[in-house]
Structure 1
């Protein structure tokens, strides 16, 4: 029989042992919050070995994998957690998160419902179901309104169970922030800070909220407050870096200084994490946002040398190589990414860069197909139509180029430029075949040039009048009984060009074309030989090789020379 003293001693041993394990889990959770994922992973792997019956250890290890974009590994670990405890609400929440990333809607519903059903009076499963809805699953990494609403609904239910769960309050604030409900977001962040004044995450979340309101000074102060609580809290520096980047884009005068500051803050963030491959990957994502492709190529090249690296490094290599005009290495890298990546990890932008690289290497036909694939997956990337149009134009497939530019002008919104309309018109003009006439091309060309002319009335765009004249000349069906559709546009072209002063050599030929056309109209339609001779003389003076002028004076037997 064990004595009372022995029982007491044994109890102390067990209590002490339990305390050590609990503290270890708490430390692992702190490492996750600080985005020290490699450290957290190592601690949690130890815990799942030493405490194989505690399902919570498995959940947090799986959550580390989720944060590192290893959904398949996370799924394995969550299932082990459920094997350890079939009523583990947290691990069902984890399986729901994996299902979301895998776009398995049925699995999302089943697992989240099970998590909530098993949660009882524990708000923590509600927190992670809510956070799972906030995981980015789109190419732009934005939370959809439907997902945000689902997160708000489940987190509100969790708040009713425990209104003092700081992690839940921050998650609820994040959900509100994602749908631009700033007051509600601030209220939850403020409640979290009041309940736990020493929580740096609540300060950082408030700073992010201010960032999106372009209150950059207020945002910086929140990050400083977070670092005053914990000088080694890496996420504060990461969010500070991303705030600097937004600041640089919002205020051009601050751009240079803020981009430099952003890079410095991100390096500080890296120094406070475990310098894992995943941290470097996040740095690579930041460099894409910052447009620093030279540094990105260096970082990605270094990462590719690691045996344990994530295949996603080939995406970064491809993007950087394209932007740095290293096209062949870029195409090799993007093709390797497509070979190695789980198809669920391919995003529309991957096809965009693959298509760009193919076109840059003169593989236009396959490149256009790839760009069209990118558009099929993400129709918001309207700039891609312009890239397709340029490729078609370069191949002299003018009608297709016109159609692509038409897509730009119809769907491009605020990013559409007048030059897009102009090239739409030029493409349709060159795409018109007099041997197999398609008058709809002329109609579209005329409409495009008309739009440019209307929008540049205060500062006339000469070439729009020139090409509109050419288009209208093609509308003449009877060359022996010309109507003069092009006359007002050639006249306006002459007026605009002459108002600008002496023309260059290229413009002289276009002016000669305009004068020769007017000469023809005066000769055959207006029957005014004096004006015909005057205009043909101007055409010949500007361009001695102009065929219409030469033919006119040849018929006249040289009359009018010197005029």
Structure 2
């Protein structure tokens, strides 16, 4: 009987050691972003020992990373009944509460997770901090509060230091973040991610040369660590955007490193989706369409695939597929819609509405597209940065009313990188749409918007001469002769100050300005009217309008 007891104890001990080893193996796979491999390990542990609450917690966390909340919740709830590590699952449920904007419920779950824990335990506080950081709306300050509780117990724990690095990084405290990551790696040099994050900090500071060197050092010590290749890809992408002359060279390097990253992970749907997100940034839409179709083969029902199909179909000219894919994606109430979804849907409708051969615009479809673009900007104001090019294409097609509709949305963001140019083209688009041959009556409300747009250009860039002349022309259409004359005079002043050569280049505009200023004075100040008509004749002695007007004034 004693022999049987000893044998049973040894078996249980062996199982416990094996489970602990498997848990560590799963954690390493999670860190390496090999999520499918980690899921397989954790499911095997749970099958062998259903009472392992830590395994259910880690598995639930993977599902949260993959945005599969239902599966995550099932494992967390199952884990609450486990014989060991059960309380960790309250943390998982707490993160779900945070994702659903229920902070009080999350805090209640976190309190249950830390109730009656041993004095030396810090793992729960670290995971609570991670829940705050990984939530849809991260709260890094709350994460730091939790980490500081753990720090009181053990300030030198490597995983705690690593978590501090993440929290400080999210809280935009770069110096403290660097110190924490460096301390974590010095404490435990197997924490490759801590070493990698030192390069991430350099990437964020746009020190791209140093960041690449840092990542190369990580590869030298651990060439099989997949995430470092993703960071290299992103570094070269940002570097290329900061050095346009090298953009093509760097973007090819970026794409190569991302392929390397995929090969080092498990080509799971999650990895492929992250790759797809990167292809959107890199504007490699042909590769995106290929990737989207591969993902469709893996999981025909995952809704995010519709997003990728929609984006790539638009960029590759398959407009009907783009509209249907994105509309189907948006129609699903469980999907998290982002601003770019509405932007692409709107752009696809604009393209469908615009018949380039006949130059006929389907106004109903076009207006629906404009409405979608407005929704995009309402969700995220920075979407305005993508509208200049769209407006310019319509403008160049002489579709001025349509161009104005796009520019009017673009200028709602005063921080847009194209704000001044967009205002100029907004004013011009409205002006030209009111001077077309088929215009029976001008639109005074629209023209007032044009006047305001030119005013914003002048305020920010007082030497932009064409803003003055177009503002003068706009006020002429508004029959506001006093303001018309004022802006023509300002135009003359600005150009004259730039020197004789600039005046010569703009001779015809000077003649226009002099004649219309003179016409404005014709009934109130004949002396000034004659003065300006004579200025016209000095430039063009045969100018019929000036000659006949002077004769009338006599």
Match of 1:560 in 2: none
Whole-angstrom CA distance in 1 between matches of 2:318 and 2:264: 33
Matched residue SS, 1:233: coil
CA contact (8 A) 1:424 1:448 kept: yes
Cα 1:268–1:402 shift into 2, 3 Å: closer
- Is 2:467 the counterpart of 1:464? yes
Whole-angstrom CA distance in 1 between matches of 2:530 and 2:505: 27
Match of 1:349 in 2: 340
Whole-angstrom CA distance in 1 between matches of 2:114 and 2:344: 42
- Is 2:489 the counterpart of 1:488? yes
Whole-angstrom CA distance in 1 between matches of 2:317 and 2:504: 39
Match of 2:219 in 1: 227
- Is 2:338 the counterpart of 1:335? no
Larger mean Cα displacement after TM superposition, 51-60 or 388-397: 388-397
Whole-angstrom CA distance in 1 between matches of 2:367 and 2:81: 52
Larger mean Cα displacement after TM superposition, 113-122 or 58-67: 113-122
Cα 1:502–1:329 shift into 2, 3 Å: farther
CA contact (8 A) 1:34 1:233 kept: yes
Match of 1:305 in 2: 297
Q: 2:193 aligns with which of 180, 201, 206?
A: 201
Aligned 1:103-118 pairs, distance under 5 A: 103-117=101-115
Whole-angstrom CA distance in 1 between matches of 2:481 and 2:29: 82
Unaligned runs of 5+ in 2: 354-364
Match of 1:245 in 2: 237
- Is 2:401 the counterpart of 1:396? yes
**Distance apart, 1:75 and its partner CA:** 0.8
CA contact (8 A) 2:411 2:419 kept: no
Matched residue SS, 1:346: coil
CA contact (8 A) 2:475 2:484 kept: no
Whole-angstrom CA distance in 2 between matches of 1:412 and 1:337: 31
Matched residue SS, 1:83: coil
Across the two proteins, how many residue pairs are aligned to each other?
530
Q: With structure 1 as the length reference, what TM-score do the two structures score?
A: 0.80
Whole-angstrom CA distance in 2 between matches of 1:339 and 1:316: 15
Unaligned runs of 5+ in 1: 543-547, 558-563
Whole-angstrom CA distance in 2 between matches of 1:530 and 1:100: 74
CA contact (8 A) 1:523 1:532 kept: no
Match of 1:185 in 2: 177
Match of 1:291 in 2: 283
CA contact (8 A) 2:343 2:383 kept: no
CA contact (8 A) 2:350 2:366 kept: yes
**Distance apart, 1:204 and its partner CA:** 1.2
Whole-angstrom CA distance in 2 between matches of 1:257 and 1:346: 33
Larger mean Cα displacement after TM superposition, 304-313 or 383-392: 383-392
Cα 1:260–1:90 shift into 2, 3 Å: same
Q: With structure 2 as the length reference, what TM-score do the two structures score?
A: 0.81
Whole-angstrom CA distance in 2 between matches of 1:181 and 1:307: 40
Deviations 1:159-198 (A, max 9, x none): 3233343222211111101122122212221221222122
Whole-angstrom CA distance in 2 between matches of 1:492 and 1:517: 15
CA contact (8 A) 2:385 2:410 kept: no
Whole-angstrom CA distance in 2 between matches of 1:211 and 1:107: 37
**Distance apart, 1:382 and its partner CA:** 4.0
**Distance apart, 1:309 and its partner CA:** 6.1
